[in-house]
Amino acid sequence: MNSGENITAEGPEILIVEDSPTQAMELELILKRNGYRTSIVGNGREALTWLSRKRPAMVISDIVMPELDGFELCRAIRKDEMHKDVPVILLSYLSDAGDVLKGLESGASNFIIKHYNPGHLLSFIQEKLSKGPEEERPPRQSVTVEYSGEGYTISSGVRQVLDVLVSTYGTAVHKNEELIRAETELRVLNEHLEEKVRERTAELTAEIAERHRVEKELSIKSEELKTMSSQLWQSAKLATMGELAASIAHELNNPLATVCLRVEGLLLEMEEGAPERSPLQIIEQEVDRMSNLVANLLQFSRRCEQEISTLDLCKEITYSLDLIHYHLHKHKIAVVEEFAAGLPQVQADRQQLRQVFLNLFTNATDAMPRGGTLTIRTSGAMLPEMIAVEISDTGVGIEHENLSKVLEPFFTTKREGGGTGLGLPICRRIMQEHGGRLEISSRVNEGTTVRIMLPAQSEVNGKLLKE
């Protein structure tokens, strides 16, 4: 490829990996005008061939490409001894924080959203090249994601997370001290009674009966102790989640507010009917949705007042599918809708209901990494005055021994870094608060079905939600 402008550059060489010739030439022109030498390849596979011969000062790569995408290219560079310390900047139209975290896990140095400001991009490049080769990355760390208006900056948050975990652990230990002492006393008492029984078994049948009685009491106490310990541990995990949720909300709400104010300002400056207004309005809607998702994360650790309204369940499902249409299309997921006719409406919190659908649709997509079919059915449930929604995928399925665990907080069957283990517990709690329930069935290598049931609109349902 050639930018069409004859510019001689003698600075560090930067490899551009971009399948769009127009965007590749635009980036090449920016870099050459600022003294950098450039080479261009059309996809990740060609980039690896180029890297087998030379070592650039930096790699700037698109994410969505044929052959080998930007995430896979980044992982390959980090595994190569010759290039593992070469800075890699990922460029993409994607703006989801999950994609940013995926880029970090792949080994990216920075993540910049198209269309970027050339000055902002150059400042990233100058900063990385002035520091020299990157240090070898630690294995796994907690992170925070900060949005600066043109791109995301990733920073370590290990100390903060460790402080939260240590504090929560200390609280849990303190609460368990009495239970530990009781367990010790019961164990000593049991040993003492067993010794007495052994000494007097031949003498007194009554004492044998007493021993049996005491052993039964000890068994009951032991079960109670086990149950109380489990409840305390569950409370400790929820407390940890609450601390983390507050921290995440703080880190995300500030950049979201900045983006929202900037978009509002740009909209005010534009005339009605200007073609640029539509993309900005879409950004504004998505920022609002992200803010709502942050608020929903906080709901798991603290309750907030619900906004109950009468809803058409099928319309809410359709709206939720529209929100992730691009995500489904990108992962080659075919959607089949089998909606029963004439279903009654439900009384529910619209945002919470959409959160449930988005979580379940995303989980189904993650279970089908090579594509598949997402089937959504609505019907009247077997129980009276209930409506059922079944969300089925053709994915990898869940092991039988994990079915009872996936609804526990922080348990996930996804690969490391692929999930927090909070989505399904949040969905189940929302269903319970609406007087409904959530069930899961699955077969390995055949797929998973999540079935949720909600009360149809009725005076009883409305009263329950208000209470």
**Residue 343, φ and ψ in degrees, nearest 5:** -70, 145
- Give the mean pLDDT of 353-375: 91
- Give the mean pLDDT of 117-132: 81
- Give, in degrees to the nearest 5, the angle at Cα 146 between 300 and 97: 55
Cβ atoms 416, 446 nearer than 8 A: no
pTM beyond 0.75: the answer is no
pLDDT at 41: 95
Cα–Cα distance, 451 to 424 (Å, whole number): 12
Largest CA distance in the chain: 109
pLDDT at 61: 93
pLDDT at 240: 59
**pLDDT: is 319 or 170 the higher one?**
319
Cβ atoms 41, 15 nearer than 8 A: yes
Q: Which of 59-63, 155-159, 214-218 has the lowest mean pLDDT?
A: 155-159
Cβ atoms 404, 428 nearer than 8 A: no
Q: pLDDT confidence of 433, banded at 50, 70, 90?
A: confident
Q: Which of 104-113, 231-240, 299-308, 338-347 has the lowest mean pLDDT?
A: 231-240
Cα–Cα distance, 333 to 355 (Å, whole number): 20
* CA-based end-to-end distance of the chain: 66
Average pLDDT value over all residues in the chain: 77
Nearest-CA neighbor of 106 among 77, 135, 82, 85?
77
The tokens describing 147, both together, are 């949005």
SS3 sequence, 118-174? HHHHHHHHHHHHHCCCCCCCCCCCCEEEEECCCEEEEEECHHHHHHHHHHHHHHHHH
pLDDT at 450: 93
Q: Which residues contact 52 (CB under 8 A, 6 or more apart)?
A: none
Q: Which residues pair with 90 in a beta bridge?
A: 61, 111
pLDDT at 168: 34
Q: pLDDT confidence of 420, banded at 50, 70, 90?
A: low
pLDDT at 378: 92
**Residue 297, φ and ψ in degrees, nearest 5:** -60, -40
pLDDT at 427: 84
Bridge-based pairing of strands 308-311 and 346-349 is: antiparallel
pLDDT at 242: 59
**pLDDT: is 270 or 77 the higher one?**
77
- Is the pLDDT assigned to residue 72 strictly greater than 90? yes
Nearest-CA neighbor of 346 among 311, 318, 380, 389?
311
pLDDT at 14: 95
Indicate the DSSP class of residue 349.
E
Cα–Cα distance, 91 to 106 (Å, whole number): 14
Cα–Cα separations (whole angstroms), residue 155 to 110, 143, 146, 202, 336: 10, 6, 8, 72, 41
**pLDDT: is 385 or 410 the higher one?**
385
Cβ atoms 11, 56 nearer than 8 A: no
pLDDT at 292: 67
- Burial class, 416, CB count within 10 angstroms (exposed 0-12 / middle 13-18 / buried 19+): exposed
Nearest-CA neighbor of 73 among 15, 140, 11, 137?
15
pLDDT digits (tens, 9 = 90+) for 321-355: 988 888 898 999 999 999 988 888 899 988 889 88
**pLDDT: is 64 or 416 the higher one?**
64
pLDDT at 413: 63
Cα–Cα distance, 428 to 438 (Å, whole number): 6
Nearest-CA neighbor of 90 among 134, 54, 44, 46?
44
- Is the pLDDT assigned to residue 276 strictly greater than 60? yes
**pLDDT: is 140 or 189 the higher one?**
189
What is the CB-side half-sphere exposure of residue 350 using CA atoms within 13 A? 11
Q: Which DSSP string corresponds to 47-74?
A: HHHHHTT---SEEEEESS-SSS-HHHHH
Bridge-based pairing of strands 58-62 and 88-92 is: parallel
Q: Which of 97-111, 150-164, 195-209 has the lowest mean pLDDT?
A: 150-164
pLDDT at 390: 94
pLDDT at 40: 95
- Give the mean pLDDT of 424-442: 87
Sheet holding 37-41, edge to edge: 37-41, 13-17, 58-62, 88-92, 110-113, 151-156, 143-147
Share of the chain above pLDDT 70, in %: 72
Helix (H) or strand (E) holding 79: helix 70-79
Q: Which of 126-140, 187-201, 443-457 has the lowest mean pLDDT?
A: 126-140
pLDDT at 169: 40
Cα–Cα distance, 204 to 415 (Å, whole number): 61
pLDDT at 167: 34
pLDDT digits (tens, 9 = 90+) for 27-71: 999 999 999 999 999 999 999 999 999 999 999 999 988 889 999
Cβ atoms 395, 442 nearer than 8 A: no
pLDDT at 159: 41
pLDDT at 268: 84
pLDDT at 236: 53
Q: pLDDT confidence of 293, banded at 50, 70, 90?
A: low
Q: Which residues pair with 59 in a beta bridge?
A: 15, 88
pLDDT at 171: 36
pLDDT at 144: 44
